[in-house]
A and B are shown apart, each in its own frame.
Chain A
Amino acid sequence: MSEPAESEYRPPSTWRKLLNWNTLGVLVVISAVSVSLWKVASIQRNYYSGARTIVRMAHWQLEGGYREALQIVIDDYNKLMAERFKRGEIAKPVEVVQVPVTEKVYGQLINTNLLARSAPDIISMGFANKINGAQKAQFFLSLDEQVREPNPYNSPEFLAGAEIDPELARALPALPWRDTAMDGMRSTFDIDLQGIYAIPTNFVNAGRLSYNKDLFKAATGSDEPPRTLGQLLDICAKIKAYGDKQGRRITPIAGTRYNVNHFDSYNLPFFACYRDQLDLNRDGIVGAMEGWGAFGSGVFNLEDKPFVELTEACQAISNQFPPGFLALERDSATYLFTQGEAAMHLTGSWDAGTLFRLTAGKFRMGITDFPLPAPGERWGDPVKHPASEASKTGGNSFGVYKFGNVPESIDFLRYLTSYVQNQRYNRAADWVPNIIGTSPDARMAAYVPRLDGIQPTTWVPDGAEGKQVASIFNGQMQSLLSGEADAAQVIAKVKNAYADPAIGEPVIWSEFYDNQKVYLRTLERTLAVQSAISQIAGADQAEADRRYRTLLATQVVRTNAEDLRLIWLQTIGAKTNKPFPEPNR
């Protein structure tokens, strides 16, 4: 083929010259910048124009259905505010917007914005370290005054047409906001600051099994949930056999590393038998050092039947989890369960909405309590009763940012926790409401706190006290659950750690004693500051006196932390004559 003659060459037209990859790149950049500018401008216009009050509400609840449920209440509230604005009852329209943020960055986002004075108006209290201690008082509003007043959204006009006990309907409008919460807002009362800094909006409960009724029926012939641990293990065996018969792998329980915590609550029924021996001061609670004292003096032995049987029962349960479950995330369990590859999912109320939505149309799902060994069953001897959940307190609590739109934020929280709206929001989200007289959707009934059961107090070598030995205990228990260690190995490792003078007994006692001295000194700070302020500013004297007395009672009863030395003397000291391990102060 011959080359074209020079006279035949035509230079490309201008538009052809312009239409190349470089131009396209420039156009993409310009478009992106324009969209960003437009977005920034519209955010500025919407949020900061001053024409409306925007109340931003940050949370990390990304589970299915939660945001939609919250939005239902928000939409209603925004509509109500628009009507009030039209009637001239408020100066500016108010609009609440939710700011959902993944829990992976929630803490950093809140911390940064609190410091920058640009935080959302209503903040879900969690993950961020700036919401703790004295910093809480620095950034968040004390809601003490407000919670003593009735919630205006519980007035008769807002209860009209609601399904409510008539007597409660008469009492509710006059009840202080605090008393309308089932837990009396105990969960958000900060004992050190002596105030309520957040409003709980529901109950969060864990340790329940979601189960696939259809798979149960196919594998066992019944869709009834297990009532005892023996029944549970029996169902698990039948499910495995059914899977084998079907030529597919079916995991009985979709466990993940998050379920390790479940076994902490499983300890309670096994160790309840020790309580009277451990509770030296007869206050109904086993304190951390009462536990260590019993451990060090041989009252509580890991070789004893309760611990050995606990490890066996825990291993039997974790054998029903997928292999390598300690490396699995929550999402993996959700996937296995909702795809029908696992028959049960051990999780908390926060996941229920997601599971109901993802399994809808695939199979029937039920929720049941996680069973305990029953009398006559293996491990049924040390276990007498489950732990009571009566003292459970509300969760998913929201604080009000001190430098935000405070009155509007308080007003929305009142709306959200009113009888009608709280029940509506929690039923829509498949959560458990926290306002007296309300109830969840029937399918969430299993998550309602259990009343019958023993005081949830016990002790294992766990927790913040003696944390180095505790972390060895926890690590060993994880090895046990994953089948890498047996009870004898766990016991040997924990006992060796306790006997190690660098991390064991003397360190546990001297560190805890020192920490308690520091804690009591911190209470002293609060007492001194509160007393000075009420004396100089002449605050509400009755309330100031009440708070002061409460803190004083908490502090003085500890006898400047010498109660710990007394426990030592009554336990380890009495048995061994060892002197108390003094801290280096």
Chain B
Amino acid sequence: MTNPSIHPARRLLAPALLVVAAAVIAGCGVGGASVNKTPEQLVEQGLDELGRYEFAEAYETFALVRAKAPAGSEVRRKATFAQAVACHQWQPASEARISEAESLYLQLADAGEGEEAVQSLLRLGRLAELSDYFGDKEDLAKAREVYQQVMTRWPQRPEAGEACLRLAAAWAQTLDPADVRKGIAVIDAWLKAHPDEPKAAIMLQYLSELHWTFLKDAKNSVACLVEADRRGFDCDGREWQYCWRIARLAEEQLKDRDLAIRYYRKIIIDYPKSGSAWESQQELKRLGVEPPPIRLFDPTAVARKSAARPGATVAPVKEAKP
């Protein structure tokens, strides 16, 4: 209930003061230092904010760049892309922000200029494929269409390789064997047409997954992994898992003893810290082969990378303290 003895103007005083205080605080945050910076300086600031996952701040900064930079300039195009990324990745996500990100990406993709165009189209595919906020429905058909566009419009760009992987995954997601095969066909065709694809090892690793885990086709799964190994596995720390799969499937499904032996040996020699080296030794013994020793925490394994030397082992345990 309102106290009638207080003058109406006085009633407004407290809220007014609060609004002024909030405005001052908010003004200090953005306006102060940023307005005097050049667009290039602001881009640097925005990237720093983006790198710290401060999406709201990055969004404001890039909006300021867009306001300052001349229309059609490279800096404005970059800022538009970065603002779209900030909007797309903003947490918590909302329908409005995702719509805004989509519209910014579309502007860039339609303009078709620079790296931002291909990146934007790829991100539009991701927008369609993933659920970004509660209630957001995945649209696999649209995602596939967009990924195909990236591959067709910019086949020589590195993003095209990623789009190919994404397209295959968008097929496999239905789990229908016919769709999984379509996904496999997409990658197979791409690798045939682009034998030097930089993401070839990742594609082959993924093909192995689709062949074995989805279709229980051990032969093709193993063949893909062996080829990935020939090119050099492209993953971080999971190499031994691929070797294990080759060895186990070679033994259990393909009855290829030599291949199994080759990969058990590889686990022991190349991945002694995997935790499976000792087991690989046991498997080799079972197969009647003398296993190589485990040189765990061996400086030679590390030094090989630096073109050093073979032979040394861990220093012996020193004498006990008195």
Instruction: Given contacts A437-B312, A529-B85, A562-B175, list 19 more A-B pairs with CB under 8 A.
Output: A137-B51, A171-B299, A174-B308, A179-B302, A180-B302, A282-B212, A284-B245, A284-B276, A436-B298, A437-B315, A440-B317, A453-B278, A455-B275, A524-B126, A525-B89, A529-B51, A532-B81, A535-B116, A553-B234
Q: Known: A284-B241, A390-B273, A536-B81. Contact between A455 and B130, CB under 8 A? A: no
Task: Tell whether, in the assembled complex, residue A437 and residue B314 are in contact, meaning their CB atoms are under 8 Å apart.
Answer: yes
Interface string of B42-57 (1 = CB under 8 A from A): 0110010011111000
Please state if A562 and B234 are interface contacts (CB–CB under 8 Å): no
B169 within 8 A of A: yes
Stretch at the interface among B15-23, B29-37, B131-139, B188-196: B131-139
Choose, from B3-11, B144-152, B197-205, the stretch at the interface.
Answer: B197-205
- Chain A residues closer than 8 Å to B272, beta-carbon distance: 390
Q: Decide if A137 touches B52 in the complex (CB within 8 Å).
A: yes
**Among A17-25, A40-48, A490-498, A544-552, the stretch in contact with B:** A544-552
Question: Residues of B contacting A562 with CB < 8 Å?
Answer: 172-173, 175
Q: Which of A53-61, A162-170, A220-228 contacts B (4 or more CB under 8 A)?
A: A162-170
Q: How far is the CA of A174 from the CA of B278 in the complex (A)?
A: 31
Given A165-B299, A165-B312, A559-B169, A528 and B85 contact (CB-CB distance below 8 Å): yes
Whether A283 contacts B241 in the complex (CB less than 8 A), given A171-B308, A529-B85, comes out as yes
Stretch at the interface among A67-75, A292-300, A563-571: A563-571
Count of chain A residues with Cβ under 8 Å from any Cβ of B?
A: 81
Complex CA gap A476/B53 in Å reads: 42
Q: Tally of A-B residue pairs with Cβ under 8 A? A: 227
**Residue pair A170, B47 in contact (C-beta under 8 Å):** no
Q: Does B61 interact with chain A (Cβ within 8 Å)?
A: no
Nearest A residue to B308 by beta-carbon distance?
Answer: A171
Q: Please state if B315 and A438 are interface contacts (CB–CB under 8 Å).
A: yes
A329-363 near B? 1/0 per residue, CB < 8 Å: 00000000000000000000000000000000000
Q: Which chain A residues lie closer than 8 Å to B244 at the CB level?
A: 282-284
Q: How far is the CA of A179 from the CA of B300 in the complex (A)?
A: 11
* Given A170-B308, A453-B278, A562-B172, A557-B294 contact (CB < 8 Å): no
Cβ-defined contact, B318 with A441, below 8 A = yes
State in angstroms the CA–CA spacing of A528 and B127 once bound together. 11
- A556 and B169 form a contact (CB under 8 A): yes
Is there contact, CB below 8 Å, between A164 and B85? Answer: no
Majority SS at the chain B contact face = helix
Across-interface contacts of B220 in A (CB, < 8 A): none
Cβ contact within 8 Å between A569 and B175: yes
B236 & A191 in contact (Cβ 8 Å cutoff): yes
Q: Which residues of B contact A390 (CB under 8 A)?
A: 272-275, 277-278, 294, 296
Interface string of B267-306 (1 = CB under 8 A from A): 0000011111111000000000000001011110011011
User: B248: CB under 8 A from chain A?
Assistant: yes
Most buried by B among A283, A532, A585: A532
In the complex, the chain A residue whose C-beta lies closest to that of B294 is: A451
**Chain B contacts for A452, CB-based, 8 A:** 278
